[in-house]
Amino acid sequence: MQVTRDNVNEIRKICVIGPECTGKTDLSQFLSQHFKTSWVEEYARAYLNKLGRTYDQIDLLKIAHGQLRMEDEWIYEANKLLICDTNLIVIKVWSEHKYGNCDPDILKKMNERKYDLYLLTNIDIPWAEDPQREHPDKREHFWEIYKKEIAATGVPCVEISGEREVRREKAIGAINSLFKN
C-alpha cells in the first residue's frame, strides 16, 4: 500500500515501550523485518550521542520534537503498520523522575498522538551496561509507572516477557490480533 496524505490514518501504529534495557530496540527491529514495514528508532539515543554534555530538561523537549518528526516522516514508508521504538510517555516519565515535572508542550503532544497498540517490555532480561542507561536498580519502579501511564491512555497493551523467541511470538500474535479486529 502506497501511503499518502489521504490514507495515512489507515496505518496502525505500534509502540514498543518499557524501562531501560528491556529489549525494545531488538524487538522493534525484528517486528519491522517480520512485517516488512518501517520502524522509528529512539531519537534520544542519537541526540544524546551528539550532545557532548549531560542532558538537561530543555533537551527532553528537543528529543520529543525529534521523535515526533521521525514518526511523521517514517509513516509514509510503512506497510500497513508503523513500529515505534518508544514515544513521548517515556520522555514524560524521565522528565518527572529527574526534574519533578514535564514540559506542558510534551504533555500536549503526548495526548494528541494516538497509537493502536502498546507492547510493554518486561524487566525479566538481564541488564546490559550502556553509557546512556541510568537506573539499573529502578527497573521495577519504572515498569509500574509505564503500566499506569499506558493504562491511562485506554489503548490496548500486551506485556512482553520471556526469552527472545517467546517475546517475538507474543508480539507477532498481538499485532496480528490487531488486524483481525
Question: What number is the average pLDDT over the span 110-130?
Answer: 89
Beta bridge partners of 158: 119
Against a cut of 0.75, is the pTM above it?
yes
Q: How big is the CA angle at 108 (ends 54 and 105), to the nearest 5 degrees?
A: 40
> Which of 82, 91, 110, 87 lies closest to 14, judged by CA?
82
Please tell me which residue, 106 or 10, carries the higher pLDDT value.
106
> The CATH number of 8-180 is which of 3.40.50.460, 3.40.50.300, 3.40.50.1370, 3.30.420.40?
3.40.50.300
Residue 69's pLDDT band (cuts 50, 70, 90): very high
Q: Which residues contact 19 (CB under 8 A, 6 or more apart)?
A: 121, 123, 138, 139, 142, 143, 146
DSSP 102: -
Q: Where are the domains of the chain?
A: 8-180
Confidence of residue 135 (pLDDT cuts 50, 70, 90): low
Q: Answer for the pair 7, 76: CB distance below 8 angstroms, yes or no.
A: no
CB contact at 8 A, 128 and 23: no
Mean of the pLDDT values across residues 51-77? Answer: 95
Q: What pLDDT, on the 0 to 100 scale, is given for residue 128?
A: 67
Tens digits of residue pLDDT in 147-159: 999 999 999 999 9
Average pLDDT over residues 68-73: 96
Share of the chain above pLDDT 70, in %: 94
> What's the whole-number average pLDDT of the chain?
92
Residue 21's pLDDT band, with cuts at 50, 70 and 90, is confident
Model confidence band, residue 129 (pLDDT cutoffs 50, 70, 90): low
138 vs 11, higher pLDDT: 11
Written as one string, the DSSP assignment of 10-30 is GSEEEEEE-STTSSHHHHHHH
Query: Lowest mean pLDDT: which of 9-23, 28-42, 162-176?
Result: 9-23
